[in-house]
Chains A and B, each alone.
Chain A
Amino acid sequence: MTSTESLIDRRQLSYIAAQAADARLNVELETEGMTLNIGPQHPATHGTLRIIARLDGEQVVWAEPSCGYMHRGYEKLTEVRTYPQVTALVNRIDWLGSFANEVPFILAAEKLMEIEAPPRAQWIRTILFELSRIANVSLFLGDLGVQLGAITPVFMAFRDREYVLNLIEGATGGRFHPNFDRIGGLKEDLPAGFIDETRVVMKKLRNFCDEMENLLFGNEIFQSRTRGIGVIPKDVAMQYGLSGANLRASGVDWDLRRDQTLPMAWNKVDWKVWTHPDGDSFARCWVRLQEVRESTLIVDQLLDNIPSGPVMAKVPRIIKVPEGEAWVSTENPLGEMGYYVVSKGDLGPFRTKIRSASFNNISIVPWVLKGVYVPDIITILASLYFILGDIDR
């Protein structure tokens, strides 16, 4: 471990030294500063994030993200919706992995009502959760290529993502806003043929991961544009509250799927939490790629021994959640996503606090963009992987 740490130190030191040399040069030349505005609509910021960067020559002196262009007021809207209606809203927070958004809210409501979904429902929830993770992160892998100027990966990602979306659509009826989770279980059981079809698709997705690994991660240009760029050390990542793959890429072995005991099926199967010691852009992308592969393995194992039984517990027709407060968070595709639900015994929540992963993940942007070159802004933002709905809610 010490050798890898010293390696990172050396890499960082050399990077900082190179930047300091450049900065001295700029002082000598007395170059004027300028302010560069990226966004709110820009082809490279998948979404409507606006970055204001003050430049000195080609280097960023100061950068700040300007959020709020996609603020839709979820926390306020949950107060005027009933519990079953809220899932339709929270689907749309992280729109790429939408089923994963429903789960923590439903689990929080179930915690307050003191009911637990039957085992089959828990397993199907976990399967759909992992499928939405695959759909989410596979698009990230394709998008990553676009940010670096490679067009091919995005076609491959869209091609293979469609298979996963077809599965989700077959089971839930929605391509990526399923609204399938109910308090006490699921809306319906799996359709006939789902299990066999999923096995085939998981094999395709593993092929896709291999393709990406060869095409993108083995590419020399890709490596030189991501290795050693945007290094986030372990302690800084912890201080800024990063979560998910961004944290794991900085060498922190932290995964809520493993570390928590939730009524889900993750602890029933064998899988591995991938980490990377480097903390640079490459590490973040690499960890995500491994996670897609790991997710396909999780789904395969879950399909092998899925229990039989009902998919819905006994729940009253009109759901009133008893008074109380509950916090549930899960490891969503982008990181830790949690809901703090305050109930006063009504049909809907009294107050909901939504902790979404991307908001915390981009809080590090001012720190990590300091001193980088302008083209690296795009690489670093792409590797941090945020979704605007998840930032602004």
Chain B
Amino acid sequence: MGLVDRGRLPKPLNSLLNLGRSYSLWVYQWGLACCAIEMGAAFGSPRYDVMRLGVIPLPASPRQADLVVISGTVTDKMAPAVKRLYEQMPEPKYVISMGSCANCGGPYWDSYSVTKGVDQIIPVDVYVPGCPPRPEALLEGVVLLQQRIRNEDMGARWRGEGSKPIIVGDASKSASSGASKKGVARVD
């Protein structure tokens, strides 16, 4: 695993590893508000079955998860718990921020008790806009994240040279989001 950590894996092995990682994402459902229901519809319903994408929405603990979906309003009282959850997840870990509330505060932009965006606390990989986003939008976010993982250079990730967060539905960015851009500073 030392080779993986330092990102010095031979290229075929690296792509094989990335392929495996992208199709076995264990996602922890951090359901907070309305978006949790749409997340449940995307992950738990027969219509938008997420398991066909190679995403397993089963872990009962963040310690077993690769990906967390922050779905819903993060309040100031909840923020420490979100931070703690993120710290409990093993590396490499990814975050999908689902819904306007988690992205930026949404309809509660002037509320006294709401954290205006979960990216103030933890780094976000994919933003899914909407209030709430449709389940299809969340699945799109998952697919875009899988594309990124498949092309990811672990070495660059460990050196902190990530790529910009993906925004679902942003036509100018989602086209190029599949390829990881080396040297572009990670915007957290």
Contact = CB atoms under 8 A, between A and B. Distances in A.
Interface of A: 40-41, 43, 46-48, 68-73, 76-77, 80, 88-89, 92, 95-96, 139, 154-155, 158-159, 161-162, 175-177, 388-389
A69 B44 contact: no
Given A41-B30, A70-B32, A77-B108, A159 B45 contact: yes
A175 to B, nearest CB: 7
Interface in B116-158: 131-132, 134
Contact of A76 (B75, B107, B111): B111
A40 B78 CA distance: 8
Q: Give the interface centre of B34, B40, B60 by most chain A CB atoms within 10 Å.
A: B34
B56 interface: no
A95 B131 CA distance: 11
A139 B46 CA distance: 14
B31 A47 contact: yes
Contacts of B45: 155, 158-159, 162
Chain B interface extent, by class: 20 to 34
A77 B40 contact: no
Contacts of A70: 32-33, 73, 75, 78
17 contacts: A40-B78, A41-B30, A41-B85, A47-B32, A47-B36, A68-B77, A69-B75, A69-B77, A70-B32, A70-B33, A77-B108, A95-B34, A161-B41, A175-B132, A175-B134, A176-B132, A177-B131
B52 interface: no
A155 B40 CA distance: 10
Contacts of B38: 175
Given A72-B113, A76-B112, A154-B44, A89 B107 contact: yes
Given A72-B111, A139-B37, A177-B34, 15 more contacts: A41-B30, A41-B85, A69-B77, A70-B75, A71-B75, A71-B77, A73-B113, A76-B112, A92-B33, A155-B45, A158-B41, A158-B47, A159-B45, A159-B47, A176-B37
B95 interface: no
Q: Give the interface centre of A46, A96, A158 by most chain B CB atoms within 10 Å.
A: A158
Q: Give the interface centre of A41, A155, A159, A389 by most chain B CB atoms within 10 Å.
A: A41
Contacts of B111: 72-73, 76-77
Interface of B: 30-34, 36-38, 40-41, 44-47, 60, 73, 75, 77-78, 81, 85, 107-108, 110-114, 131-132, 134
B78 A48 contact: yes
Contact of B40 (A88, A158, A177): A158
B44 A96 contact: no
Contacts, number: 84
Contacts of A69: 75, 77-78, 81
A80 B110 CA distance: 9
B34 A40 contact: no
Given A77-B110, A155-B45, A388 B77 contact: no
Contacts of B134: 175
A130 B37 CA distance: 19
Contact of B44 (A72, A158, A176): A158
A162 B47 contact: yes
Contact of A95 (B30, B37, B41): B37
A238 B113 CA distance: 32
Q: Give the interface centre of B30, B60, B81, B85 by most chain A CB atoms within 10 Å.
A: B81
B42 to A, nearest CB: 10
A145 B72 CA distance: 24
Contacts of B60: 43
B78 to A, nearest CB: 5
Given A41-B85, A70-B75, A176 B34 contact: yes
A76 B108 CA distance: 11
A89 B131 CA distance: 11
A88 B41 contact: no
Contacts of B75: 68-72
A101 B114 CA distance: 21
Nearest to A42: B60
A43 B57 CA distance: 12
Contacts of A71: 75, 77, 113
Contact of B112 (A47, A73, A154): A73
Contact of B46 (A68, A88, A89, A159): A159
